[in-house]
Structure 1
C-alpha cells in the first residue's frame, strides 16, 4: 500500500455532497412515474455521467485513488455522454419525444471507451504514473516496461471532451433559439417554464465548456479539475432546488388546519377572468400537447395560484384538471385523426401529449366511446 496523506478540505466535501445529490436525483428521474417523460431519462443519464466524472476527480484530488487505481481515467468516456444527454434532453422538452435514431449520439462515447480499453486494462504501475502526472508531478514515476496502452485520440482526452461539450452546447443553443422563435417569446423574459429551464440548461452547458477551457489553459497539468467538479456540484444543487420548488410537498396542509380553510369563495370577476384566460390559452397555445403539462405550470402561465386555478376548473367546468386536460387532448386527437389519415395512432398520441398508446386509448374511449382506430374508420 502506498503511503499517502489524504486531502479533505472544503472542495472535497462540496464535491462529495454533489456526487451524492446527483446520484439521488438520477434515481428520482429514473423512477417509474418520472421516466415516462423522456426528458427525465436523459436528465438522469446526464446527472449520472456528471456524478461519475466528479467521483474520479474526488478520488484523485483527495488521494483516495490509491485504494482503487483501476478507476484512474475511467470517466473519460463517460464525460462524453454529458453533451449528447443534455442535447437530447433539450430536444425532448421541445418536441415531447425524440426519435430512436437520436440515440446514435451516444456512439462516440462507446467508440472512445473501446479505444481506451487498452489503457483501462493495464496494471497498477501504469495507473499510478497517470495519477502522479496529473496530481503529484513532484513524485517519482514507476518503471513500466510496456507502453501505457493509450491509442490515438485518447491521448487528448481533455480536447475531445471539450469539443464534445462545445458542439452539443451549440446544437442545444440553436434548438432552444428555434423554440423561442416558434413561440415568439423573449429570450430575456420567457413566460413558459420549459423555455426558462432550457435557457438555464444552455447557459450551464456553455459555462462548463468555457470553465474547462480556461482551467486547462491556465494549468499545465490537470490539477484544476476540482474547480470543474465544484462547479458541476453547484449545477446539481440548482437542479435539486428547482425540483423542490416545483414540488407540492411544502404546500400540503397539516392536521391542525381544517379542510374548509382551503375552500375560498372566489369573486365572480376573478372567476370569470381566469376562466376566460384559461380557455383562450388552451385553445391558442395548446399547452396540453406537452407531456410535462401540469396544474402548477398552467397556473404559472396564467399568473394565478394553483389553488385558485384548481377551484375555477372544478367549479366552473365541473371537472378536475386531469379530466380537462384529457378532453382537450382527445379533441385535438380527433382533429388529427381525420386530417392526417396516414399518421400512426402512436404518433397522434405523442402529438397530443400522451407518452403511451395505452393511456391514450383509455382516455379516448372513455370520452368518445370509441377507440382511436374505430373513430378514424367511421
Structure 2
C-alpha cells in the first residue's frame, strides 16, 4: 500500500518536530527548575508522542515501525495532569512532589497494564492498525492465546483519554476562576501578566477539547485523528511564537550600553512577571520574618536565579535586596508596634527578623524617620 502524504501529514510532522524541540528547551537543566516550565515541557512531550503516532498511522509509515502501534496511549493520559499542574504552578508558584505523584500515577499504571499489548508481534499490531484505519485490507494470520487488552481500561483508551482531558480541564478552569476572583480582574480583560497566560491556556485547552470531542464523536474508529492532530500542531506553533516573541534575542543592546544590561536576558515582560510574583510571595508568606532570610533562598522560592532576581530588584524596584527586605520588615514592625503596645521593642525586632535591637532601630529610623519607640508613642 502506498504511503499517504498530504498537507495534513506535513503540518503534523512539523508540529512533532517543533514540540520535541520546545520540550528540550523547557526541560533543560536551568529551565526545569521552574515548575511551570517542567510541566509545560512534559505536556509538549506527551503531545509530540500522540501526534507522532497519528502521523505514522495516517500516512501508513507505521508499517515500517509496527512496534510503535498504540505506544502513545499512556502519554495521552498525561496531557491532562500536565496541563492542570502547569496551571497550579502559574498560580501558586510550585507543586509538591506528593501532588505530582498523585496526578501522574494513572498514566504510569496504564503503561504497565498496556505491556501485554506492547510486547505482541508485529503481525498482531499490523492487524490492530488495519482494523482501525483500513478495515478493507486483509489481516495477517496470527494467533494469540490471550486477549492483550483483557482489562476494560486498556480496551477503552479513547474514552479514558477524553474523560481525563475533560476532568483536568475542569480542575484547571476552577483554579483559574479562583485566581481571577482573588485578583478581582475580568477574564476578558486581565491586566496581570500571569492571568493573561492563564486565560490563554484555558482558551487553547477549551478549543482543543471541543475539537477532540467532536472529531471522536464523528469518527468512532479513530479515522479523523489527523484533524485534531493538526489543531494540536497549530497550538504548538503558537507556543513557539510566544516563546520567541518573549525572547531577549531580538532585544540586543549596543556595545555602548552599560555592562549590566548587555549580559541581561530579562525582558520587560519577564521582569514585570517576576516582580508580581515577588510582591505576592512577600505579602502572602512573609519569608523576610526569618532572621536568616537570604537572596538565594528567595530566588529558590521564585524558581529563578540569584543573578536574575538581583537584577530585577535593582532595576525594577530601584533598591538592593537588603533595602527591600528592610522595608518589608519595618512595615511589619509598624503594624506589630500598634497592635501589640505592651510587647517590648526587642521582641518586636525579633518577630520581624532582626537579631539586634540596634540594627532594628537604625533600619526603622532610616526608613520611617522615627525610632520604634517614637513611632509607637506618636
Taking structure 2 as the reference length, the TM-score comes to 0.71
Name 1:59's counterpart in structure 2. 56
Higher gyration radius (CA)? 2
1:255-266 mapped onto 2 (5 Å cutoff): 259=257
1:208, CA displacement in angstroms? 2.1
- State the distance in 1 between where 2:171 and 2:277 align: 31
* 1:168–1:139 CA distance, 2 compared to 1 (3 A): same
Q: Which residue of 1 aligns with 2:27?
A: 30
Superposed CA deviations along residues 79-127 of structure 1, whole A, max 9, x for unmatched, are 0000001100110110011111111100111111121111111111210
Q: CA deviation at 1:330?
A: 7.3
SS of residue paired to 2:143: coil
Go from structure 1 to structure 2 and tell me whether the alpha carbon gap of 1:158 and 1:328 turns closer, same or farther (over 3 Å shift).
farther
Q: Distance in 2 between matches of 1:292 and 1:249?
A: 22
Q: After superposition, where does 1:302-341 map in structure 2 within 5 Å?
A: 317=318, 319=319, 323=320, 327-328=323-324, 332=328
Q: Tell me the residue number matched to 1:128.
A: 126
The 2-side partners of 1:36 and 1:15 are apart by: 30
Q: Structure 1: which 4+ aligned runs deviate by more than 3 Å?
A: 281-290, 309-313, 326-337
Structure 2 distance, partners of 1:101, 1:228, is: 33
Q: Is 1:175 matched with 2:175?
A: yes
1:175 match: secondary structure: helix
- Trace 1:69-88 onto structure 2 (pairs within 5 A): 69-88=66-85
**Structure 1 segments unaligned to the other structure (5+ residues):** 264-277, 295-308, 340-363, 371-378
**TM-score, normalised relative to structure 1:** 0.71
Q: Check 1:222–1:336 CA distance in 2 against 1; reply closer, same or farther (3 A cut).
A: farther
Q: Which residue of structure 2 lines up, in the alignment, with residue 93 of structure 1?
A: 90
Query: Which residue is equivalent to 1:107?
Result: 105
- Secondary structure of 1:185's partner? coil
Alpha-carbon distance in 2 for matches of 1:283, 1:42: 18
How many corresponding residue pairs?
A: 299
Aligned equivalent of 1:236: 236
Q: Residue 2 of structure 2 aligns with which residue?
A: 5
User: Structure 1 residues 259 and 188, CA, compared in 2 at 3 Å: closer, same or farther?
Assistant: same
Establish whether residue 117 from structure 1 lines up as the match of residue 115 from structure 2.
Answer: yes
- In the alignment, what sits opposite 1:204? 204
CA offsets 1:307-351 (integer angstroms, 9 cap, x no match): xx98785xxx3x5xxx45x754676589899x9xxxxxxxxxxxx
**Are 2:169 and 2:205, in contact at CA under 8 Å, matched by a contact in 1?**
yes
Hey, what does 2:374 align to over in structure 1? none
CA distance in 2, matches of 1:36, 1:210: 32
Matched, 1:224 2:224: yes
1: distance between equivalents of 2:37 and 2:325?
22
Q: Which residue of 2 aligns with 1:139?
A: 137
Q: Aligned to 1:35, what secondary structure does the other structure show?
A: helix
Pick which of 147-156 and 241-250 moved more. Answer: 147-156
2:230, 2:172 → 1: CA distance? 23
Q: Aligned partners of 1:40, 1:335: CA distance in 2, in Å?
A: 34
